[in-house]
Amino acid sequence: MTNLKDIGLYNLRNITRGAIRIEKNADLCYLSTVDWSLILDAVSNNYIVGNKPPKECGDLCPGTMEEKPLCEKTTINNEYNYRCWTTNRCQKMCPSACGKRACTENHECCHPECLGSCSAPDDDAACVACRHYYYAGVCVPSCPPNTYRFEGWRCVDRDFCANIPSAESSDSEGFVIHDGECMQECPSGFIRNGTQSMYCIPCEGPCPKVCEEEKKTKTIDSVTSAQMLQGCTIFKGNLLINIRRGNNIASELENFMGLIEVVTGYVKIRHSHALVSLSFLKNLRQILGEEQLEGNYSFYVLDNQNLQQLWDWDHRNLTIKAGKMYFAFNPKLCVSEIYRMEEVTGTKGRQSKGDINTRNNGERASCESDVLHFTSTTTSKNRIIVTWHRYRPPDYRDLISFTVYYKEAPFKNVTEYDGQDACGSNSWNMVDVDLPPNKDIEPGILLQGLKPWTQYAVYVKAVTLTMVENDHIRGAKSEILYIRTNASVPSIPLDVLSASNSSSQLIVKWNPPSLPNGNLSYYIVRWQRQPQDSYLYRHNYCSKDKIPIRKYADGTIDVEEVTENPKTEVCGGEKGPCCACPKTEAEKQAEKEEAEYRKVFENFLHNAIFVPRPERKRREVMQVANTTTSSRSRNTTVVDTYNITDPEELETEYPFFESRVDNKERTVISNLRPFTLYRIDIHSCNHEAEKLGCSASNFVFARTMPAEGADDIPGPVTWEPRPENSIFLKWPEPENPNGLILMYEIKYGSLVEDQRECVSRQDYRKYGGAKLNRLNPGNYTARIQATSLSGNGSWTDPVFFYVQAKTTYENFIHLIIALPVAVLLIVGGLVIMLYVFHRKRNNSRLGNGVLYASVNPEYFSAADVYVPDEWEVAREKITMSRELGQGSFGMVYEGVAKGVVKDEPETRVAIKTVNEAASMRERIEFLNEASVMKEFNCHHVVRLLGVVSQGQPTLVIMELMTRGDLKSYLRSLRPEMENNPVLAPPSLSKMIQMAGEIADGMAYLNANKFVHRDLAARNCMVAEDFTVKIGDFGMTRDIYETDYYRKGGKGLLPVRWMSPESLKDGVFTTHSDVWSFGVVLWEIATLAEQPYQGLSNEQVLRFVMEGGLLDKPDNCPDMLFELMRMCWQYNPKMRPSFLEIISSIKDEMEPGFREVSFYYSEENKPPEPEELDLEPENMESVPLDPSASSSSLPLPDRHSGHKAENGPGPGVLVLRASFDERQPYAHMNGGRKNERALPLPQSSTC
């Protein structure tokens, strides 16, 4: 197109398949300004040639001349430039956050099912085009039921498919429905089920599919033209193959033409330089020759420069019924290959000498080859060693090297040219082998990286220069050798599932391993009963204390935070702010109970999540198939005789039982206990299991169903009379209950009314029954019901008992005792009333005046005056050298101090000063703030070395951190920084080292009751040896003033580092420091990028309080991001302490950390363990689940897509979504997969 100036397809967003070809457009520009990689999945096959040179075009994108470019930049061939279609149309791009999704004109991400663009974000009905299918006005990933795929992009119903007119002829049978798709013809291997049927059935043997070309001759010059023959078995017409170029041509042609069996006309192959073999016509059996070329040729092969093989004649039977063959100008096709075809096809004698030219066929091929013989083969599970006889050509100098070819070959039918074409595609792997230096050594090769128990085809070819008569190349190659590698241990079974169909059986299903690495022979199934959680034995289910239900990670805000009243409380009669009231004894007791419960809860989580490794050797695990134990059972039937009510069960580790399963991927485990949790391990074993052992296990946890009547109390209920109008009831325990008996409920009463009494499991184990007190005289009935993990059992039969009335003598004694007590109570009450009246009358005589105090702001308290102490340093010992930077009170200098460090005559130090214009109050505040450092002595906290308070200016001597603050240091490591030292960005180990050093310093501050409140990278310092330390406090604010935000006229706040509770209520604790520590980790991972980029300080304030979290940084290791997520738990109490953080990463720290850290120091020795008070009446009655509050709704994270969670992040165990969505007591299941939630046993008396 000679006049085409530009393409101008400015709305083009996506080309789903294929490539582009733009050539011979003499005036076409704006080709180099289009980034085709944004439109195509691959650009390697693009062909852009013969257009106007870019240097002559002068392509300018919109706004470039005005220095206000409107288009975005991308990199193509190392050229970073603007992208546009024309001088006034930019190339449209979507934000990186959209990934592979399309976007709107306003750069909002479309629904994932949209392709190209959309008119509204995240709306599957607003798509310009659908990525998969279109149905009823919306884009869907797959067609709904009773609809069928049509033309690859939409869904239609049966009636629509039946009424589609055929494009071929009016008498066509119409479309068919097969495999969920409406198509014109049945696919290969299927045929219509009757003449007028719309459905396909499998063929008995090959299905005939006749294809016919209107012009009689079908030209195959590309993969696209070959697609028209896909599935054809009979082609009515002539085939003309002319393939000159392409990618992966051999496999594509085999895919589309490999089923052709009969060609009724002729086959002509000319100028097909991309073909090496005709094996892509793998099923061709007959060429009928009903129509022939001029000269009566029905098979014509002309000018194919790379054609080396016709077919593998050892496995091919081809017949040419009529016509002759013609071969010319095929330089790599040996004449012997042509003669072999004459014999197989039955055309020998039909051709003349001119039809098969021996001079221009095969003149560049090694047609006369010697045979190389393999001498030895050695195999292992992933290696093959082969050697062969040394080839000796007539002139040994012409032997250059050997080339070994190998590939996987499931069947022994491969040929040298399978999957090979002249454009670079080759299914064989090649290895060059140099000649051995010693002529007596046989050449060989070690093939590595192979798959176990896989058959490989191998052959070797000699590379020579020897010429024989007629100038034909002479070579040598071997026959194809088939070798199988040795077996290995299989991979684990896949998709293990288990379900219970009765109270004593578990059905287990799984899929075979993905890598059997041998002939899969059998499976080993092992199962072990799991002990009940120890807390179930200790908790009193008759009390009203909180039940030990797990805290689920449901992403809701903690209920305490939501329900808290933000208004300031009022003390006394005057309104206004007041100080915090001292805690009452009840509040202190509640805090103690909460701390104790937290310890119990954490122990429970660890016991439920982490299964201890059995103390056995690894060899025993891998050779589980070879072990035999007394509990081995071939029919998967084992009787479990342990009593669940045994108090020693807490220390019991139950044995594994084992069974062998042959030739199937399922089994039934029988004779199990009702409503009991089991762990089931599955091992794969192949035919070499006796030598190599079986695979590692894939396991699942499952619980049997409850048994009907298992919780019923057996035997009679008896009673014994007791003094004081009471009786004692006794009954036996259920013999084989559903899991564990939690409590008993007694329903008793006289003829008037019924009462209920709850008896905990602990009380029953202690007393063997229950005592009913304060009963009125009369006749009673009582019934008892047991409650287990699965629910309530049946009520027992009623037992009758009576309570005798007291005698007159007993009533008289009670009266004598009661009268004096009543008189004393009355007298005491009168005395108290008189005392209160007297106090009130005296107080009323005093005045009602209020005492006011006034303070002169020009004066300050004597307690605030700085008093020199042992930290004082003489001014003449300090020498300043150069400025380091501006601090919050004044300039900071580097200098030298004499005698401030023991055994060091001179020490390089940092010297902090106060501005000359500072007032006396500011100078004293400067000294007092520095005095905070006097209390600290930790390697990972910057040390104070001395103070010069006498004279002017006031100086504070600090440890010198030569590499500055951590924020500046991290930014200096960015590759684009001009002053970047020869230092690479920090590795994961270095990041963990920084994190551990910061956490150690913070742990020290926490141990000394110090809350930092401003932990950030700017407030951490880097020493000469790259050690990171907590910086001085409150002295770096002016340097990074933009990192702070003034809220409501108050002081500057580092909102981007503050926790939700600090932003909301102004509360700063060690928990809020842990949140800030997580943000510091994010800064380390991003080389000190600003947190929450793109959001203003006010937006960050709302975003964090609503539960938003920072995105995972690019290329951030999962281990580091998991540590961040643990620090960003919305509930402060769910965050780890700094000591717990160090404990989780201590194995990754450098060896020197143990010598200098606070964590390993004597100061950090844990106190003597306190005895836990686990009595039920001391447990707090606040529920664990915040979702119980109606206002605790999930908050969307508009910044990162995350939600604030009260639980660990991805990769850590996530408990369940919401307590309200589950039945209670799910904590008894251990949080394992394939578990069912348990019903809540609840006493009606609570």
3-state SS record for 903-933? CEEEEEEEEEECCCCCCHHHHHHHHHHHHHH
Burial degree of 123 (CB within 10 A; 0-12, 13-18, 19+):
middle
Last residue within a domain, chosen from 202, 230, 245: 202
Which pLDDT band holds residue 1170 (cuts at 50, 70, 90)? Answer: very low
Q: Which residue has the higher pLDDT, 391 or 607?
A: 391
| Whether residue 982 has pLDDT greater than 50 | yes
Which pLDDT score, from 0 to 100, does residue 843 have? Answer: 59
First-to-last alpha carbon distance for the chain, in angstroms, is: 89
- For residue 999, pLDDT over 90 is answered with yes
Amino acid at 467: M
Both tokens of 455, joined, read 């058959």
* pLDDT at 601 exceeding the cut of 60: no
Residue-wise pLDDT tens digits, 47-98 = 888 888 887 887 888 887 777 888 888 888 778 888 898 888 898 888 888 8
How far apart, in whole angstroms, are the C-alpha atoms of residue 864 and residue 844? 40
Report d(CA 538, CA 47) in Å as an integer.
76
In a domain, 626, yes or no: no
Q: What is the pLDDT of residues 1021-1061, one digit of tens each?
A: 999 999 999 986 644 444 454 555 545 544 578 899 999 99
Q: Are residues 347 and 244 in the same domain?
A: yes
- Is residue 373 assigned to a domain? yes
- Give residue 699's pLDDT: 92
* C-alpha radius of gyration, the chain, whole number: 43
The pLDDT value recorded for residue 447 is 93
For helices 988-1007 and 1118-1127, give the axis angle rounded to 10 degrees.
Answer: 20
Tell me the residue ranges of DSSP E strands in 469-558: 474-478, 481-484, 494-499, 506-511, 520-529
657 in Cβ contact with 637 (< 8 Å): no
pLDDT value at residue 370: 79
Shared domain check, 457 and 377: yes
The CATH number of the domain holding residue 917 is: 3.30.200.20
Predicted TM-score (pTM) of the model is 0.42
Burial class (CB within 10 angstroms; exposed 0-12, middle 13-18, buried 19+) of 52? middle
Q: Does 781 map to a domain? A: yes
923: CB partners within 8 A, 6+ apart: 914, 954
Residue of 1048, 1112, 1110, 1041 whose CA lies nearest to 1076: 1110
Looking at residue 845, its pLDDT comes to 47
Q: Are residues 315 and 241 in the same domain?
A: yes
Q: pLDDT band at 1232, cuts 50/70/90?
A: very low
Q: Is 451:382 a contact under the CB 8 Å cutoff? A: yes
Looking at every residue in the chain, the average pLDDT score rounds to 79
473 shares its domain with 493: no
pLDDT, residue 629, reads 35
Give the C-alpha separation, 320 to 285, whole Å. 9
- Lowest average pLDDT, out of 182-191, 277-286, 689-698, goes to 182-191
567 band by pLDDT with thresholds 50, 70 and 90 = very low
Residue 450 has pLDDT above 60, yes or no: yes
Residues 343 and 216 both lie in one domain: yes
Helix/strand/coil for 968: helix
Cα 534 from Cα 1174, distance rounded (Å): 12
- 301-313 mean pLDDT: 88
Residue 113: pLDDT band with limits 50, 70, 90: very high
Percent of the chain clearing pLDDT 70 (strictly above):
78
Q: Give me the mean pLDDT over the 1217-1240 stretch.
A: 35
The DSSP call for residue 788 is E
- Residue 1010 vs residue 888, higher pLDDT: 1010
1014 has catalytic annotation:
yes
The CATH number assigned to the domain holding 755 equals 2.60.40.10
Closest to 549 in 3D by CA, of 1242, 1243, 1245: 1242
Confidence band of 424 (pLDDT split at 50, 70, 90): low
Q: Which residue has the tokens 């995105």?
A: 1111
For residues 757 and 770, the answer to whether their CB atoms sit within 8 Å is: yes
- Reply yes or no on whether the pLDDT at 252 is more than 70: yes
C-alpha 576/C-alpha 503 separation (Å) is 65
Rounded to the nearest 5 degrees, what angle is found at the Cα of 354, between the Cα atoms of 352 and 357?
A: 120
Take residue 416 and report the two structure tokens written for it.
């040298």
- CA of 188: how far to CAs of 192, 259, 318, in Å? 11, 8, 22
Domain boundary among 759, 775, 809: 809
Q: Is the peptide bond before 953 cis (omega within 30 degrees of 0)?
A: yes
Residue 1154 lies in a domain: yes
Q: Which amino acid is at 838?
A: H
- Greatest mean pLDDT among 17-31, 586-600, 685-699: 685-699
- Mean pLDDT on 1086-1097: 91
Domain count, the chain: 8
In order, the DSSP letters of 798-842 are PEEEEEPPPPHHHHHHHHHHHHHHHHHHHHHHHHHHHHHHHHHHH
pLDDT for 419: 66
CATH number of the domain to which 1048 belongs = 1.10.510.10
pLDDT tens-digit series, residues 308-338: 888 888 888 899 999 999 999 998 888 888 9
Judge if 1078 and 1140 occupy the same domain.
yes
User: Exposure string (b/e) for 709-745, b if CB count within 10 Å is 16 or more?
Assistant: ebbebeeebebeeeeebebebebebbeebbbbbbbbb
Note down the domain range covering 695: 488-562+657-705+1167-1198+1210-1246
Same domain, 1015 and 1126: yes
The fraction of the chain above a pLDDT of 90, given in percent, is: 32
Domain shared by 439 and 464, yes or no: yes
Structure tokens at 827: 């007298």
Q: With bands split at pLDDT 50, 70 and 90, how would you rate the model's confidence at 416?
A: confident
Q: Could you count the other beta carbons within 10 Å of the beta carbon of residue 300?
A: 22
Is the domain of 8 the same as that of 82? yes
- Please compute, for residue 322, the number of CA atoms within 13 A of its CA located in the half-sphere on the CB side: 12
Sequence-distant (≥ 6) Cβ neighbours of residue 311 within 8 angstroms: 277, 278, 279, 281, 318, 341
Rounded Cα–Cα distance for residues 1134 and 1111 (Å): 20
Query: Residue 319, SS3?
Result: strand
Beta bridge partners of 906: 898
Mean pLDDT of 413-437: 78
CA atoms within 13 A on the CB side of 407: 17
Gap between the Cα atoms of 112 and 105, Å rounded:
16
CATH number of the structural domain spanning residue 334: 3.80.20.20
pLDDT band for position 505 (cuts 50, 70, 90): very high
Considering 484, 511, 527, which residue would you say is the last residue of a domain?
484
- The pLDDT of residue 1115: 86
With cut-offs at 50, 70 and 90, classify the pLDDT of residue 619.
Answer: very low
43-57, 982-996, 1148-1162 — most confident range: 1148-1162
Q: What whole-number distance in Å separates Cα of residue 70 and Cα of residue 84?
A: 9
pLDDT the model gives residue 730? 92
What is the β-pairing status of strands 181-183 and 148-150? parallel
Region 235-249: mean pLDDT is: 87
Residue 112 lies in a domain: no
Q: Can you tell me the distance from the alpha carbon of 1034 to that of 157, in angstroms, rounded to the nearest whole number?
A: 72
Residue 740: its pLDDT value, please?
87
Residue-wise pLDDT for 1175-1197, tens only, equals 444 444 333 333 333 333 333 34
Q: At 514, is the pLDDT very low, low, confident or very high (cuts 50, 70, 90)?
A: very high
Residue with tokens 């690859």: 152
Q: Which residue has the higher pLDDT, 69 or 657?
A: 657
Is residue 1228 pLDDT above 80, yes or no? no
Helix-strand-coil percent breakdown of the chain, rounded to 5? 20, 25, 50
The mean-pLDDT minimum among 15-24, 144-153, 650-659, 1087-1096 falls in 650-659
Q: Which residues contact 267 (CB under 8 A, 6 or more apart)?
A: 238, 239, 241, 287, 298, 299, 300
In a domain, 1242, yes or no: yes
- Is residue 59 domain-shared with residue 42, that is, in the same domain? yes
Tokens representing 707?
């048994």
Tens of pLDDT, residue by residue over 908-959, are: 999 988 887 777 778 888 887 778 888 888 999 998 889 988 888 888 999 9
More confident residue, 444 or 931: 444
* Range 654-683 average pLDDT: 93
* Selection from 629, 671, 666 nearest residue 525 by Cα: 666
Q: Which two tokens stand for residue 317?
A: 């039977």
Are 113 and 100 in contact by the 8 Å Cβ rule? The answer is: no
Are 1016 and 1001 a contacting pair, CB within 8 Å? no
Listed range (149-153, 183-187, 1101-1105) with the worst mean pLDDT: 183-187
Q: What does the alpha-carbon distance between residue 737 and residue 673 come to, in Å, rounded to a whole number?
A: 9
Strand partners, 1029: 1021
Tokens of 1207: 């639980």
Q: Is residue 828 part of a domain?
A: no
Domain assignment of residue 2, yes or no: yes
Phi, psi of 1121 (to 5 degrees): -70, -35
Number of helices and strands in the chain (H, E): 21, 57
* Two tokens, residue 245: 């170029």
Strand (E) positions, 580-626?
none
- Per DSSP, 1195 falls in state P
- From the list 247, 250, 258, the residue with the least C-alpha distance to 18 is 247
- Do residues 684 and 750 share a domain? no
Whether residue 1227 sits in one domain with residue 1192: yes
DSSP state letters, 100-127 = T--B-TTS-B--TTEEEEESSTT-TTSE
* pLDDT beyond 50 at 194: yes
294, 328 Cβ separation under 8 angstroms: no
Tell which wins on pLDDT, 1177 or 772.
772
Residue matched to tokens 């915040």 = 1186
3-class DSSP assignment, residue 761: helix
Catalytic choice (533, 558, 681, 1014) = 1014
